[in-house]
Structure 1
């Protein structure tokens, strides 16, 4: 490859797969042509099933295009995939770390696989440990690292040799905002210092905003490409922000706007307000009615706004079914406390994962558990679900003491795990039948509930498709459907939108809003801070301790800590500020104690 040649050049790329269930051919890539300059940071974005991972795997020489030409680093990748693989590094979505091996042993293993000499290892390891800040943990087993640290170790293992091209497939899925920021600092440093060419697929449009070039894919076709500013331009003059009427949660105003598809392209809660995109032909009077008297202030478009405008205007969006099927039969009033936690403690040997945590959740409330990887929120979540016994404190869920009657409480709750515990070889119908039986549903009652959730989540056409062959968004729908079959009073959601694209996230939260309005209590963990804005209240944990609790507005005010009350900050800024401030205090306290002891 010449110094000025592209890192990747593809022409009319096609890739088809045949579904085992229907024997139908699916176009994962359908005539994609692109050229990616060397020495740049480039993003591939698009909804589920857009073809992002397929395109990366073609670039990595792991599969061959059915038609078209693809040259990587000037090499015809279909003719000589090994020559390409000798010069690139590829980090897939599920990077293969060995949990029983230490950080150092994982690095050594990948260095051995790539034939990195001892001399080069010393220099490379020092650089990688400095970039990832893993130098203090070289003896720690990979299985005992937090999610963010695992991703950084995966990136370090990918970079044990110095490649000419780095391919990253959604490297920050399941990673908290602090670790996400650190990972991107590492990637940017590689581009700036080593002039490395980096191509990253991502579901997070704020990440793509960092890149010099963005390719937007949908259903295997290239929808748009250009600098982030060029993608943003699709929403120029159409973006606004408005505060909901007094007492109305932002998510309800957002739901009202999203339901008006003829007038609104997109809407999302942001900093206690609602950021929305109007259609070009929207009537001002119609918009005023939707806003219920709220003042709309124009704002500059973001990359996500341009992305959503492209997708919504070029594809008629299917309506989200949120009719009576979503309203469950939860009894009681909105002031009733359905989860009560007092001085909750969980120890693993000498390690305290959760330290004296207290909070309560009311019926119909959406309650968010937030925190960095390793903060203790997953442990708290598992105790609330009855999946893990508490070491101390009091815990009542749906009126049941979980320390003595976990089985009884489980009949009144639904649970959707981060990894969607579906049976991949069973069809949609078979999964629903199995989980319905596990919840005690039989005969006509089971058939009625299956029909209801199939309509509710628009799964009727996928009835005989094995769940393992469903796109990610449909697997999420099926997981939600199984969790709601028995009409639980409380629904626990563990990072349910991890890796989901903006379209899927909007659809998901529209359903959750309808469920909460119907009286279902929602408890959710998430690393995507935009989602905290949907919650009535949130708790932020770190190192097992509660750092903040309250409404999103109260938590943002705590982050400002007496600063400019008119300043607009989003929940990600508030989250990072609160966690970093607490960690600084934690480091300063021992130093002051040492100073006092020597005075």
Structure 2
């Protein structure tokens, strides 16, 4: 059935959520009006809590607007949600695969649920397996797939019937760059070949740049809309790339620029340099003063530059969301510069006959930011869990903070902090109660606990949420609370497991400004991430795949390894990561006998 006119048309949409006291009511959507043409790829972008997921759920007929009109495929979704659901497919952030069922059994289950006739399944399955490259794994349990493969299977299950509209809610969260690229190739193929209408919410502006139309939401309001080029133009003539002088890490120049909130809109490390946006009123003399000898050249704007300019302008009307300056507080136990605090030699981890980590060796120095990178299923999470003392090693040597983790994991855990990818605090406890509970678990009592709680509450701007249940906090504030809890006992080493997964650019800047300050003060930081921009903040990184180390060194050294003899070319870390992993995989395939 074809749709004439817009695939989605909304007029003055309002949606309000009233949580339990003392939390205030949340205006998830506030007078939003939009039209989305059929047969296009459209993006919804905005900071955490902007209203993107709420809007998608309204389109899917899973909730009803408090007021306003919404028509999807020409149907009043409020009056007849089932008619809409019969013609769309919706993939939420946490798509429900059944881990104990095979790839084929998951497909069959969703085909049964959607009433796909038997005679149409063979052709549809063949098409989906070709697009997702999962045809070789139809007998494998879904629980045994890597994160990227699970996302592709989730998309395939969503598409077991041929919809008129596909809704995707942040489909690439937690997915490595290789899998992210493959997912977007599938989506683009659906748009180009089947003229499918696709609406996707995303926290990654490079993904939104692929779309024909972008809607920017903030605080439930529609701030702007248009083609990516129209939104980019908001930063035209204001974007520059600066090369830090000498051996200064790019993150230090970035932090200095971010702290100059009256003159600088945004700054982010990129390919060993710092990309920044100045405000129009910033004079050349003041800019030279901020750069402190760094050479800057103008560059063309990206969609992310236009997005950040738009949000910073909005912040000046509302409240300033720029991360506050955080002067580094030197640790009293800072030790000697360059002192090795993590030593890994020939580390091995087996699960039965499967070798997840094979003979891995590296070291981490005090005050260093060290990144563990790799595709989904590469072994980095297993390595990370062994470093934290959460998983015993099968072989090799592992010392953390001077403690042999193979024999004294509990002792080492008193000297480290840990922030997991998923929110792992108690959602029914308030911010105050979580901090008090975990402070006690770390051995803090009385005046010392109160002093540390006061410090982290100020540091992470949580005082106004002190009595709010942590489960009701916005995502960005949950992350702040998790960081505050992990730092209560002033650990020597902080382990961060994909801490910005799904976070918008504003939240990522704020997060890394805090991490930079911690490292300046002598805290060692070990981080896993799938977002390659974040590797640029690291002093050194290691790239793993299939349990083996493929590259180790500074970001500049890793980019040079990816380039090989073509040293004149300039690439970012995502290009370097993909190049190194693909080259290693080609080598493995070439060594396998035909």
Taking structure 2 as the reference length, the TM-score comes to 0.98
Number of paired residues? 591
- Asked whether the 8 Å contact 1:342–1:356 carries over to 2, the reply is yes
Q: Residues 3 and 64 (structure 1 numbering): CA distance in 2 closer, same or farther, change over 3 Å?
A: closer
- Asked whether the 8 Å contact 1:165–1:198 carries over to 2, the reply is yes
Q: Choose the corresponding residue for 1:445, options 445, 448, 452.
A: 448
Cα deviation code 1:460-516 (max 9, x no counterpart): 000011111111100000000000000000000000000000000000000000000
Residue of structure 2 in register with 1:73 after alignment? 73
Q: Residues 101 and 326 (structure 1 numbering): CA distance in 2 closer, same or farther, change over 3 Å?
A: farther
CA distance in 2, matches of 1:103, 1:447: 51
> Which ranges in structure 2 are unaligned for 5 or more consecutive residues?
none
Residue of structure 1 in register with 2:460 after alignment? 457
Alignment of 1:239-258 (within 5 A): 239-258=239-258
Say yes or no: does 1:502 pair with 2:502: no
Residue of structure 1 in register with 2:521 after alignment? 518
- Asked whether the 8 Å contact 2:168–2:198 carries over to 1, the reply is yes
1:295 is displaced (CA, Å) by 1.6
Alignment of 1:122-521 (within 5 A): 122-316=122-316, 317-323=320-326, 327-521=330-524
- Asked whether the 8 Å contact 1:347–1:391 carries over to 2, the reply is yes
> Which ranges in structure 1 are unaligned for 5 or more consecutive residues?
595-599
Moved more, 117-126 or 315-324: 315-324
CA distance in 1, matches of 2:327, 2:234: 36
1:30 is displaced (CA, Å) by 0.2
Moved more, 421-430 or 71-80: 421-430
1:25 is displaced (CA, Å) by 2.1
Residue of structure 2 in register with 1:90 after alignment? 90
Cα deviation code 1:256-308 (max 9, x no counterpart): 00000111000000000000001001010000011112221110000000000
- Asked whether the 8 Å contact 2:42–2:211 carries over to 1, the reply is yes
1:326 is displaced (CA, Å) by 5.5
- Asked whether the 8 Å contact 1:325–1:452 carries over to 2, the reply is no
SS in 2 for 1:574: helix
CA distance in 1, matches of 2:37, 2:20: 38
CA distance in 2, matches of 1:497, 1:23: 25
Cα deviation code 1:143-172 (max 9, x no counterpart): 111000000010001001100000000000
CA distance in 1, matches of 2:510, 2:19: 26
CA distance in 1, matches of 2:33, 2:125: 37
Residue of structure 2 in register with 1:61 after alignment? 61
SS in 1 for 2:255: helix
Cα deviation code 1:228-255 (max 9, x no counterpart): 0001000000000011011100000000
- Asked whether the 8 Å contact 1:329–1:487 carries over to 2, the reply is no
- Asked whether the 8 Å contact 1:321–1:457 carries over to 2, the reply is no
SS in 1 for 2:592: helix
SS in 2 for 1:395: strand
CA distance in 2, matches of 1:323, 1:42: 38
Say yes or no: does 1:540 pair with 2:543: yes
Cα deviation code 1:48-107 (max 9, x no counterpart): 110000000000000000110000000000000000000000000011111111111111
Residue of structure 2 in register with 1:31 after alignment? 31
Moved more, 330-339 or 249-258: 330-339
1:428 is displaced (CA, Å) by 0.6
Taking structure 1 as the reference length, the TM-score comes to 0.97
CA distance in 2, matches of 1:198, 1:81: 19
CA distance in 2, matches of 1:431, 1:124: 49
Residue of structure 2 in register with 1:575 after alignment? 577
Q: Residues 147 and 392 (structure 1 numbering): CA distance in 2 closer, same or farther, change over 3 Å?
A: same
CA distance in 2, matches of 1:429, 1:64: 34
- Asked whether the 8 Å contact 2:258–2:323 carries over to 1, the reply is no
SS in 1 for 2:7: strand
CA distance in 1, matches of 2:123, 2:340: 58
SS in 1 for 2:43: strand
CA distance in 2, matches of 1:406, 1:261: 43
SS in 2 for 1:6: coil
- Asked whether the 8 Å contact 1:327–1:517 carries over to 2, the reply is yes
SS in 1 for 2:198: strand
1:374 is displaced (CA, Å) by 0.2
CA distance in 1, matches of 2:299, 2:248: 22
Residue of structure 2 in register with 1:584 after alignment? 586
SS in 2 for 1:69: strand
- Asked whether the 8 Å contact 1:322–1:456 carries over to 2, the reply is no
- Asked whether the 8 Å contact 2:328–2:521 carries over to 1, the reply is no
SS in 2 for 1:99: coil
Moved more, 530-539 or 312-321: 312-321
- Asked whether the 8 Å contact 2:328–2:518 carries over to 1, the reply is no
1:568 is displaced (CA, Å) by 1.1
- Asked whether the 8 Å contact 1:21–1:466 carries over to 2, the reply is no
